[in-house]
Structure 1
C-alpha cells in the first residue's frame, strides 16, 4: 500500500508534466482536473474537442482505482466520451494497487493526440 508521501509525490509529478493544464483541488486523497488540449489547439481551422477530465481518488487509493469523469465535453460526442472513459477505466483496473495517476493522465493525453 502506498503511503501519503508517495501519493503526494505522484500528484507533484502530474503537476510537473501537465503544468497549468492540471488543477489540483485536493492533494490527499488526490482530486485533479485535467484540461487536455489537442495538438491543433493553436490552429483554429483544425481545432478538435478539448474536454476537461476529472480524476478523483478515494481514501483507499491506490487499492481502489480513482473515479474518472468528463465534466466538459466541448463537442466530444457520446461515443467518443464512452470510448475514452472505457480506455481509462481499463488502464486503472490493470494498475489496481499501483500508483496510477500519471499513467491515467498519459492515456488521456494520448487519446487526444489521436483525435
Structure 2
C-alpha cells in the first residue's frame, strides 16, 4: 500500500464523517472519531456517545491499527468492552486491506 492510497482513504473518512472525525496524523493514519446514535430524538439513546482513537503504525494496513476508547458517556464497562471487541474483530478480518472507513462504520 502506498502512502498516497492511505491518504486517499483518510480523505474518504473526512468526507463521510466531517467534523465527527478529527485527523491527528495522516500518515501513518491516526484519528479520533466521535460516535453517537443517529437517533438523537429518542431520549433513551441520546445520552450515549464515545470518542474512539484509531491509530495505525507504519506497517498499516498489513498490521491492523490500535483501537481504543478515549472517552465515553452512558456506556458501562461491559458495553465499552463489547464495542471495542466488535471493532478489533473487524480490524483483524480486514487485515492487509485499507479498513479505516469500515472500522468507523463498525
TM-score tier after normalising by the smaller chain length: over 0.9
Aligned position for 2:104: 105
The two structures have a TM-score, normalised by structure 2, of 0.94
The two structures have a TM-score, normalised by structure 1, of 0.87
> Quick check: 1:40–1:48 contact (8 Å CA) kept in 2?
no
| Structure 1 gaps, min length 5 | 108-115
- Per the alignment, in what secondary structure is the counterpart of residue 90 of structure 2? helix
Paired residues for 1:72-111 under 5 Å? 72-107=71-106
Once the 2 structures are TM-superposed, how far is the Cα of residue 8 of structure 1 from its aligned partner?
Answer: 0.2
Paired residues for 1:53-68 under 5 Å? 53-68=52-67
Q: Which runs of 4+ in 1 moved over 4 A?
A: none
| Structure with greater proportional strand content | 2
Paired residues for 1:8-87 under 5 Å? 8-41=7-40, 43=41, 45-46=43-44, 47-87=46-86
- Give RMSD over aligned pairs: 1.2
Once the 2 structures are TM-superposed, how far is the Cα of residue 49 of structure 1 from its aligned partner?
Answer: 1.1
| Structure with greater proportional helix content | 1
